Structure 1
């Protein structure tokens, strides 16, 4: 484990940029950027275009370690280069800690939740992540209903895989997202917190995780998780909230920082000049950093 990166994740002010849209969500991400599906004729061309978009973001002067402390990458992004360097090395040289999305997407909904699909190649992916100097990983499940058995199953699966990731020398980001439109959102979050705490309390002193959670309906609900000795950092996903709404909700939660995806890049467009692009990205970075650091 990179101790410098660990210290940065624990202690530095800032937020984590999520640049990890995978195959299924890439067309939507490109469309939001102004690149429609008629701009590419196959998957290879699509991934070339999304890497070009991500490269423009990562090389922007607005994307720097003064405010962005980490970035989550899609596997194809890890395997590609930015300005002649593998992406993780490029980010590390900028002072930004690289993470890798390792899940394979969501299973069908059962018991009010969507578990992760099996990750059959996890060991090989972790080996390659270490080769590319990745610091940590991220994996996502989704909770839709306040079903105790379902939520327990999600958290059990997350921690089971997290322990394998820890054994490989990486720090896992555990992401059991609660759907912001759930009618039982607050109850889901109460159950989720208790299930996470059970697992955290069973970890050894050497086992450390990060958590990526939906901004809770009750301010500071996750403070006990943030302060837990086995938790490096707790970050928040935007989850479909607008950037403005996500920022306002984030400000109410002490110690919680952002890990936004759509809310970070929503004002960016392929047709913008570099000056326009950089200004819009800087405005987004400034507002998300402010919400992560300046609490009410």
Structure 2
């Protein structure tokens, strides 16, 4: 049963992770060891050439090795698929599920199918994905049709594997906000294993509601959470304290939903100092999670803003 909002005794303890796309200069084993040593509960594992390459030979054997390491370190995992150039060295995040060329769409869908298999073998709590940007000259109805058709076999595979597929609304993409997620959900017939990745910074960036309200609205479909600081109207992932988000109410709302997956720090442009930001992000989040939202109404500056 999901705890009722306001019932502090029923709060689900939050589990924090860090994304390997913010540790791109580290070997995957070094990244996992670092996160375990720092006290993280898990990792958002982006399938990329430096971290469990989904296209290189012997994927199943390499996945088993990572699974054993995760188990030894006591880390949970979400499989993320936002690698910039894993499919095409010239097109960032290309090809997408919206490309005019059906073979290109199939390449992206195949990556997601591989991710589902990896997630099942790792015991991951979700597979993350996104729609992509609408190609020039493509009308909206066509783009939505391509997205639904491309995701259908991935959803079937995810259902068979018992791993939720968690679609992320991404600023600038076809599926950019929470309303777009619900449009996709309806188009696909509301499949049980279609869930939502909620990026807290994206809520601050473009959603009309406050981030804490977005969490409450998304709760029934929430399967994965990404978190970072951000400013209104500017899609730039920032270290905690550099943006405008008031985090205690957000984490209070998240705990109240009963969400049991990972809340993963998403700082992909800070890999140059990834260990530093990993070290400093977890204490910030723990302080914010422990702080009462009421404490920020006293007129004193918040230490978690």
What is the TM-score when the length of structure 2 is the normalising length? 0.56
Counterpart residue number, 2:267: 261
> Partners in 2 of 1:246 and 1:195 — Cα distance?
33
SS in structure 2 at match of 1:241: strand
> Partners in 2 of 1:281 and 1:194 — Cα distance?
33
Aligned residue among 229, 241, 244 for 2:240 = 244
Contact 1:13 1:69 in 2 (8 A): no
Contact 2:127 2:164 in 1 (8 A): yes
Counterpart residue number, 2:282: 285
Q: CA deviation at 1:174?
A: 1.6
Counterpart residue number, 1:209: 195
Counterpart residue number, 1:46: none
**1:155-206 C-alpha deviation (Å, 9 max, x unpaired):** 6367532342122222223223114xx9xx9x953642542553697234xx
Q: Tell me whether 1:164 sits opposite 2:170 in the alignment.
A: no
Which one is further off, 170-179 or 209-218? Answer: 209-218
Give the 5 Å matches for 1:1-296: 11-20=12-21, 29-30=24-25, 50-51=26-27, 54-60=28-34, 63-64=37-38, 66-74=39-47, 77-78=51-52, 86-102=65-81, 104=87, 105-107=93-95, 117-120=107-110, 123=113, 126-143=116-133, 149=141, 152-153=144-145, 156=148, 159-160=151-152, 161-179=154-172, 188-189=176-177, 191-196=179-184, 198=186, 202-204=190-192, 207=193, 209-213=195-199, 214-216=202-204, 217=206, 218=208, 219-220=210-211, 222-223=214-215, 225-228=217-220, 230-236=221-227, 240-244=236-240, 248-249=244-245, 251=247, 253=250, 254-255=253-254, 257-262=263-268, 265=271, 267-268=273-274, 281-290=278-287, 294=291, 296=293
Contact 1:16 1:71 in 2 (8 A): yes
Q: CA deviation at 1:13?
A: 0.8
SS in structure 2 at match of 1:227: helix
- RMSD, aligned CA: 4.7
Question: Judging changes above 3 Å, is the alpha-carbon distance between structure 1 residues 195 and 80 closer, same or farther for their aligned structure 2 residues?
Answer: same
Gaps of 5+ in 2: 1-10, 53-58, 88-92, 230-234, 256-262, 294-305
Q: CA deviation at 1:260?
A: 0.8
> Partners in 1 of 2:134 and 2:156 — Cα distance?
25
Question: Judging changes above 3 Å, is the alpha-carbon distance between structure 1 residues 188 and 169 closer, same or farther for their aligned structure 2 residues?
Answer: closer
> Partners in 2 of 1:12 and 1:262 — Cα distance?
26
> Partners in 1 of 2:65 and 2:43 — Cα distance?
16
> Partners in 2 of 1:225 and 1:249 — Cα distance?
18
Counterpart residue number, 1:44: none
Could you list the structure 1 runs, at least 4 aligned residues long, displaced by more than 6 angstroms after superposition: 108-111
Counterpart residue number, 1:34: none
Question: Judging changes above 3 Å, is the alpha-carbon distance between structure 1 residues 190 and 123 closer, same or farther for their aligned structure 2 residues?
Answer: closer
> Partners in 2 of 1:91 and 1:15 — Cα distance?
15
What is the TM-score when the length of structure 1 is the normalising length? 0.57
